[in-house]
Amino acid sequence: MGASRMFKDEERLLERAIQAVRRFHEARDYSAPREEVERLKDEAEAMMKELSAFQMDALERIIPKA
């Protein structure tokens, strides 16, 4: 995967993660039902983990191993 594509993929994933976190905070702030808040929290956490894994993989591809 080229660097340009990798950055575009990361931008899309980052945007999805930000939106998931935003939905969670909005639901929590506006007193949505507990089950909905928990579902959105789980979704946000999963998206952040996916983003983190993607970034770690990207770093491993561009930083030479010693």
Domain boundaries, the chain: 3-62
Overall pTM > 0.85: no
Q: Give CA–CA dist 51/39, Å, rounded.
A: 18
Q: Give CA–CA dist 49/28, Å, rounded.
A: 20
Q: How many residues does the chain have?
A: 66
Please tell me the predicted confidence (pLDDT) of residue 66.
64
Residues with Cβ within 8 Å of residue 46, at least 6 apart in sequence: 20
Please tell me the predicted confidence (pLDDT) of residue 21.
97
Ranges under pLDDT 50 in the chain: none
Residues 13, 54 contacting (CB under 8 angstroms): yes
